[in-house]
Structures are given as structure tokens and as C-alpha cells.
Structure 1
Amino acid sequence: MKTEFIVSDMTCNHCVQTITQAVQAIAPGAAVSTDLDTHRVVIESPADAAALRAAIADEGYDAQLA
């Protein structure tokens, strides 16, 4: 399942790394792709969108479903 978020406060590669690690901590093997220009995070994983959003939020980022 593909889930897409807008993370407006994702601004650098450190943010990308933090978000990727947070997602993969709850969904091992998840494919995470990011675009810093559009602030999009696309996650390919069977994990629930709410759980993915919560993992990103726990790292201090505001993730909104795209």
C-alpha cells in the first residue's frame, strides 16, 4: 500500500534520514521516498497510515496526508 504525506517542515537531508528511520522502525522493509522541493514523503508499506503519521509526528514533524 502506498501512503503519501506532505511534511512541510522537512527541509534537509537530516530531516529525510530522521523520517525514514522513524518509518522503518515501525514498518521494517518499508520503501520511503522523499522530495525536499515539494515536501512529499511517499511510503510503500502495509502499515496503517495513522501509525506512519504518528511515527513521523513522534520525531517532531507535521505530516498531513496528501
Structure 2
Amino acid sequence: MRDLRLWVQGMGCRRCVREVTSRLRDVPGVTTVVADISTNTVRLAGSMSDADVLAAFKGTTYVARIQ
């Protein structure tokens, strides 16, 4: 299992957090998603790939960057 931390630009409200966490929960291999709205970060745990995680944001207004 690995841990991954993302910075997500545009995740500034509770609705945004729900949308981002919902998208990330659907990524194959993700077992845990914890979002922090105050820092615009999301911590993930699981066996997911970086490419799959970043692909979850394709077609959205969010910009995600792996930290």
C-alpha cells in the first residue's frame, strides 16, 4: 500500500470536496481518501497509479498536482 498526497486547485467549498473525493474513490486501487479544504490537499492510500489518479480530473475545472 502506498500513500499519495495531491494539491487540488479549485477545491474551495464543501461541494467541491464532495466532487473531488467522489471522483478519487472511483479510481482503481484507492482505499482511503481524506480531503483538507483548508490546504486544498487530498491524501490517498491504496495501490493506485499516479496516472489513474490524475486522469480522474480530466474534463473538470480542477487542477491536481502530486506533491
TM-score (norm 1): 0.84
Q: Taking structure 1 as reference, are residues 28 and 21 closer, same or farther at Cα in structure 2, changes over 3 Å only?
A: farther
Matched, 1:9 2:6: no
What 5-or-longer segments of structure 2 have no aligned partner?
none
Runs of 4+ with deviation above 4 angstroms = none
Residues 22 and 59, structure 1, Cα contact 8 Å, conserved in 2: no
Asked whether the equivalents of residues 13 and 37 of structure 2 are also in contact (C-alpha less than 8 Å), the reply is yes
Same amino acid, percent of matched pairs: 23
Flag structure 1 segments of 5+ consecutive residues without an equivalent.
none
What is the aligned residue count?
66
Residue-by-residue CA offset, 1:14-58 (whole Å, 9 max, x unaligned): 111111111111236621011111111111120101111110334
Of Structure 1 and Structure 2, the greater strand share is in 2
Which has the larger share of helix? 1
RMSD: 1.6
